[in-house]
Every structure is written in structure tokens, then in C-alpha cells.
Amino acid sequence: MSDWSPVPILMYHAVEDAPRAPQYKHFYVTRSEFAAQMRMLKRGGYTPITFPILAEAMAGGATLPAKPVLLTFDDGYENLLTNAHPLLRDLNFPYTVFLVSERIGKTNEWVIEEGFDATPLLDWNQIREMAAWDGVSFQAHTATHPHLNRIGQDQLRRELTVSKQQLEQELQLPMDVLCYPYGHLSEEVVAETRAAGYAMAVTTEFGRVRRGDDPLRLPRISVYHVPFLSLTYGVGPLNFDWRLRTRKDSRSAPNG
């Protein structure tokens, strides 16, 4: 089809009330930055879409809006409830949150060994409160947020299947999309992801989704590396081709 144009999947993590120390700058945007970015998307004519729509479009069965975009939030931070959800609901911008099933109601303790402070994650009640609006999709980000390419096959299968089962049971919704922690994957990780029943998976590879891309290796655009302000001039950072051509991401975030 000739109407396909590359689709940006934006990657966010936390949306904080106030700026934190500089070493966290690849981990959060502030509430005011986030609000400004969402307004820019709206003003720029972008239409947030969902993973099922993207899947249909990649299979040739759905026509995308002129400027589609997907909004994703890794790890499921508690601050999304107050700092992102109300705004996105008001704008009618659907979005996806990737949950770490055995850390729900706890913290992102996996960053502690890297020298970062832990941040609270959503609990089940908060997740259900958000899920009451059908624009929210919760999907899987493993059970404990390991480096999937560094663990044995038994543990790998457990991380993929336990998280899927646990989230499906709690939310009574299908978990079809996986987010690889840290963006780390391998041929084995992708094969096991497919075997576990996921139809799509997102990485931290920098780029927009093209028609023929592998649905289990979808690139994303880390918002920490996009000059959102240029949207207001119609240049469109989401059309950032000089950079996207390299399909490389120089990020060094504490988590993915």
C-alpha cells in the first residue's frame, strides 16, 4: 500500500513532578514538559494509535491516520496516575504501559545496583483505576526486569510466561505485546517471545516502524533524544530522517 509512512513509537518512563538530578535525565520528563509535548503532538496533527491498529496496518488490513504515533511508558511508574493519565484521557490519546508483573506495588529496585534511587511503581488498585478508561493498554515487561539475553532458558521462559499469565489473570485482558527490558534481546529471546504467545515486541532501537519490520523487534523513539520543540515549526522531530537513517540510539538510560 502506498499510504504507509513510518510510524513513531515514543518511549517514556516516569513523568515527574519536578526535575531530578541530571543522571536521571534519560529516565523521566517533568509533568510540564510532558504536557507541552502532548500539546505539540495535538497541534502537529498527530493521532495516537494502539498496538492492535498498528498490527492490522502492518498486515495490510488497516489504514493509518496521516500522522500516527504510539505512546508507550516502560515499567509502570506510580506518577503516571497523576501526571500523565488525566491529561491523556482528556486529550483522548490512547497509550500503553509496560508492567513488571512481580514488582507491581513495589519499586524499580533493579536500578539500585546501577547506583540509582528506586522509584515507586503502580499497584493493582491504581492500575485498575487507570484501566477503567479504555484508552489505556497494559502490556508485559517481564516478571522481574532482567537482562533477557543474559539468563538461562528456563528463567527466560519463566520471565516471559509468568508475567503474561499473571497480568492476564489480574486484568482479564490479553497480553500480546512485550517490552524487552533494557532493549536487550537475542535470537533466542525473540524465539522464546514468539513461543510464549506475544504477537509484537518493542525494543530501544532508535527508529520508526516500517511496513516490513519484524513485529517482534519494533524500534522506538526515546523521547529524551527528540527535540520536541521543533514540532511547533512543523519540521517534525518524528520525521527526523537524518538521524533515523542510522537506526542507532546512543541512549544510556538506567532502564528500558
Residues that bind Zn ion (CB under 5 A): 74-75, 181, 255-256
The nearest distance, CB 167 to Zn ion, in angstroms, is 15
Which phi and psi angles does 88 have, rounded to 5°? -65, -35
The nearest distance, CB 242 to Zn ion, in angstroms, is 28
Residue 139: name the closest of 205, 54, 65, 36 by CA. Answer: 54
Between 46 and 182, name the residue whose CB sits nearer to Zn ion.
182
The nearest distance, CB 186 to Zn ion, in angstroms, is 17
Question: With 0-12 CB in 10 A as exposed, 13-18 as middle and 19+ as buried, what is 47?
Answer: middle
Between 54 and 100, name the residue whose CB sits nearer to Zn ion.
100
Between 16 and 75, name the residue whose CB sits nearer to Zn ion.
75
Residue 15: name the closest of 73, 101, 69 by CA. Answer: 73
Between 83 and 144, name the residue whose CB sits nearer to Zn ion.
144
The C-alpha cell 489473570 sits at: 169
The nearest distance, CB 256 to Zn ion, in angstroms, is 5
State the pairing for strand pair 47-48/68-75: parallel
Between 94 and 181, name the residue whose CB sits nearer to Zn ion.
181
- The continuous run of DSSP H or E covering 79 comes out as helix 79-83
Between 34 and 77, name the residue whose CB sits nearer to Zn ion.
77
Long-range contacts made by residues 191-198, C-beta under 8 angstroms, separation at least 24?
192/153, 192/156, 192/157, 192/160, 193/160, 195/157, 196/157, 196/160, 196/161, 196/164, 197/164, 198/140, 198/160, 198/164
Per-residue CA distances from 15 to 20, 122, 173, 219, 232 (Å): 11, 13, 25, 22, 22
